[in-house]
Structure formats: C-alpha cells, structure tokens
A and B are shown apart, each in its own frame.
Chain A
Amino acid sequence: MLQISCPYCGARAEIEFRCGGQAHLERPGPHDQVSDRQWAEYLFYRDNPKGVSLERWVHRFGCRQWFNVARSTLTHEILAVYGMGEQPPQLEGTKR
C-alpha cells in the first residue's frame, strides 16, 4: 500500500486516494475543429512509461484536492508531488 503525500494533508495511506491517470493531458478544442485522431490521442493514447510516470491523484477521502505526482512505475517510489497546473520538476527518466 502506497503512502502518498497530499500537498495539503501530508502523508496518507493509498486507500484515501484515487489515481486519475496521466497528468498534463491537454483537452483539444474547440470541439468542431478537432480531428478524430487528435481526439483519440487525448482520450485513449497514453505514454504508459516504464519508469517515471507523471500522473494526477485526488485525495478522495481527505481534502478532495487534485494534485500531480511523479512516481516510478517500476519501484512505485514517489519522486515528487506538485500542484495542479504546475510544471513537473526536472527528474531523471522523465519524458517531455
């Protein structure tokens, strides 16, 4: 069971949280100018890295706030926690 540091509440057990998937997705728009391909990329295509994954989590049973996490999908180690809308920190092995 992971231990995740909510930026507001501090370190808490994984079961209080929910993972919302890849972070920093940009919603394409306006809707009538988005190609099927672009839309599919946004909806379904994912980096799915083996290594550092940037993802968003919500403190579902806590303060209900969303935030970003840089986490290794290999070791599950959490390398950074940062706010919604913030840029990811420079980490080794991070894409983009």
Chain B
Amino acid sequence: MSKLERMSPLGRGISATAYSSEFVSLRQQTFFGVAKVIVRKSDLLGSPELEALLGVRAPQMANTVVQGSGVEIAWAAPNQWLLLGDEAEVARICAAAQTAFRDETALVLQLTHAYAVFQIEKTGARDVLASLCPLDLHPRAFAPGRCAQSLLGDAGVFIQQCNEAPSFRLMVDQTYAGYAWRLLSEACKSLSSS
C-alpha cells in the first residue's frame, strides 16, 4: 500500500494557480505551515519557554507580526498567535509548545491543512485587495510587519504585508480557496482591463 499523498487546496477545478500581469501577480503558496497558539493567561505569553521556542517574544501589539527563529509570529487576538513558516519548523515548534504547556490551559494546534495561502504582489495588489476587502491598505495605514483579519468577499481572511513591493500574504479557510481564487483572479483581470 502506498503512502498517502498531500493535495493543495487549489487542487481541483482551478486550472491555473498563478496569475501575472504588468501590475499584479498572484499565486498560491502550497505547503505553508500554520499553527495557532492560544493561551488563557496573558502571563504565559511572556513565559521564557515560549520565548525560547520562538526565538522572540510573541508580539503584544495587535495586528503585528514579528520574525522569530524560523517562523513568523502574528498576533491573532488577545493571547492568540499564528505561527507561520516552513511546515516542518512549525510542526517542531508546535510539538515543543504542546509539551511546554501541557499543564496549562492552552491550545497549540497545527492548522496547516485548514488554510489556503496566497501571495499577491506588485503595484496593483492593493487595488485588487480593495475590490474585495474593506481594510484600508494604504501605506499610511498598513505597512510591512502589519497583519489583520478581515473579509475577502464573504469569506474571512488573514492578511499580512510582507514587504514594501508590496507583497501581501493572504490566508483563507482552505474550503474557500476556490472562491477566493476566483474573486482574486477576476479582480486581477479587471485591473488590467480598466
């Protein structure tokens, strides 16, 4: 019997998983590690264990991301963070955190499979996002190091600005991957045609 194989969220129905034009490029980022850390008590977040694991103190400022050792840590809610990065690295940290928090009220969950991840970049990226998402992503209001949860069409989304180019990372529930892809790629096309 063969080993089980992995499939990415855009595995079916969508013929292309990348779109590129002069103004904007869009692609799916597959096999990207995502985990969530939820602790009940806020002092846990400052715990040396957590900091040691992450290589950095988890961000306390709402809607910000910090670079840890190997993973990025994004604020998701009070006492909740997303760990983002290489799948294996995320898995390793998760396992360690689970052990560290064994006796605490905490959830450390790998959610790699729950998300579809897209990367959208170039000068038109903001316009494409603005056609689907109510966030103000103007450079004065949003910048690299910032993240937010909001809506993309009618689906929830996590948005992170990765650099000035600009490049944005989008994460939606993977069952909305097709929907998000459709909306995003159509918006990309409309951008080039008008």
Do A and B touch, yes or no (CB under 8 Å, in the complex)?
A: yes
A-to-B contact residues, CB < 8 Å = 8-10, 12-13, 15-16, 61-65
Contact A12 B78 (CB under 8 A): no
B: contact size bracket: 10 to 19
Residues of A within 8 A of B149 (CB): 9, 61-63
B-to-A contact residues, CB < 8 Å = 62-63, 76-78, 80, 134-135, 148-151, 156
* A6 vs chain B, min Cβ distance (A): 9
Total number of A-B contacts with CB less than 8 angstroms?
34
In the complex, which residue of chain B has the Cβ closest to the Cβ of A13? Answer: B134
Contact A8 B134 (CB under 8 A): no
Residue from B78, B134, B135, B151 in contact with A63 in the complex, judged by beta carbons closer than 8 Å:
B78
Which label, helix, strand, loop or mixed, suits the secondary structure of the A interface? loop
Contact B77 A12 (CB under 8 A): no
Given contacts A15-B134, A16-B151, contact A63 B76 (CB under 8 A): yes
* A8 vs chain B, min Cβ distance (A): 5
Residues of A within 8 A of B151 (CB): 15-16, 61
